[in-house]
Amino acid sequence: MTNDDSPTRIPSGIDLHAIGPYGDTLGDGIVQVSFSLPIPASPEAREAARRLAVQMGLNEPQIYREADLGYGFSFWIVYGKCRHHVDVTRIVVPKITSAALSFEEINALVLDNAGRRLRIVGACTGTDAHTVGIDAILNMKGFAGEYGLERYPAFEVFNLGSQVTNGTLLAKVRETGADAVLVSQVVTQKDVHLSNLAEWVDMVEADGLRQGLLLLCGGPRITHEVALELGFDAGFGAGTTPRQVAAWLAQEWVRRKK
């Protein structure tokens, strides 16, 4: 990361070797943290919250808000000054590197090179019943003013919906001869999304389908780095638009077939 090459220009005078948070004034370190405690709100609980903030690395912590949640629980919002800094120049984050393409360019790229529509299977798997993410990418109406993959002439889409077992998803992949699979995971309590996604990759590999299949996953706690670690080809986080996914799919499929 440099001042000249960053997508968003970095203010002059910023030391990228020592980046820290700020609230009112650059470099003041002010942050806000919130948490619950399994004790009722009381002077002792207030002091416990303050001391916890100190142990988190905050200087001069101040209790901004406290609330008794009932049943012996309390909620706290604390302001404080973070004493830590990060050297941004030493951070390397894997990113999706596909070029931005228009709706028309994506369709032309696929149909000119494949001579057919790519078959895309998507699902929200495991016990996860949240279809907002997978529908935003696949449904014809799309998201953020962009068409979903169902609207693309270059794609044949099979949206299986929510609470789909990995076994059911695998059977649909075999049935359709899918070129790519999109798995959405919204529920992340106790990292259930990680175990479910890892199981899916293991099943695909055991079935001998991995080599010819593009695997994508997405969700609020999914990053490209996490996806790669789990054995996927790409990961898309919150705010991803359908065209970003479509552009990556088209370019990666063509690249692998050359």
Instruction: Tell me the domains of the chain and their CATH numbers.
Output: 1-92 (3.30.30.60), 103-257 (3.40.50.280)
pLDDT digits (tens, 9 = 90+) for 206-235: 999 999 899 999 999 899 999 999 999 999
Torsion sign over Cα 175, 125, 201, 167: negative
pLDDT digits (tens, 9 = 90+) for 139-159: 999 999 999 999 999 999 999
Q: Is the pLDDT of residue 7 over 60?
A: no
Residue 247 tokens, joined: 């552009």
Beta strand 234-236 with 30-37: parallel, antiparallel or unpaired?
A: unpaired
CA distance 258 to 255: 6
């070129």: which residue's tokens? 179
CA distance 154 to 106: 8
| Residue, of 258 and 5, whose pLDDT is higher | 258
Cβ(34)–Cβ(75) below 8 Å:
yes
Residue 5 has what pLDDT? 41
Across the chain, mean pLDDT equals 93
Point out the residues that are catalytic.
141
Residue 4 has what pLDDT? 39
Residue 180 tokens, joined: 């790519």
Q: Is the pLDDT of residue 172 over 70?
A: yes
CA distance 206 to 199: 10
Closest of 64, 76, 65 to residue 39, by C-alpha:
76
Residue 8 has what pLDDT? 64
